[in-house]
Amino acid sequence: MELACRLTEKAQTVEGTHQWPYKALASALEVIPRTLAQNCGADVVRCLTELRAKHSPSDGSGLMWGINGNTGKIEDMKVAEIWDPVSVKNQTFKTAIESACMLLRIDDIVSGIKKQ
């Protein structure tokens, strides 16, 4: 959610259609806490709204807030001692980028085939 909030802020500083990629990535990153909230039985809309509010100050005070998957409540992850390894996120982003590139390559190949 922190990355999504920072990307949304950045999108507001960019003009025109150049802000669309920032907004799209921010929206995609919000799927992660949404899915976690759904899986733990929390009220998804209320939970995401509260989490977004915790992350909205750009001073970094909301950096460690997240959803406790056991209780479904918004908590400070440092206090709750819940750690998410960055290596898992890095691999997820790499896999997503590779998949998108592969789909784009397939589209180029299919569009290059002429019908006889």
- CA 33 to CA 29: how far, in whole Å? 8
Q: Indicate the pTM of the whole model.
A: 0.69
Identify the DSSP state of 71: T
Q: Would you say 33 and 66 are in contact if contact means Cβ atoms under 8 Å apart?
A: yes
**Multiple choice CATH, 2-83, 3.40.50.1100, 1.10.10.10, 1.20.140.10, 1.10.560.10:** 1.10.560.10
The residue-averaged pLDDT of 44-67 equals 87
Secondary structure (3-state) at 76: strand
Percent of the chain surpassing pLDDT 70: 91
Residue 51 has a pLDDT of: 92
Residue 103 has a pLDDT of: 84
Could you tell me the residue ranges of all domains in the chain? 2-83
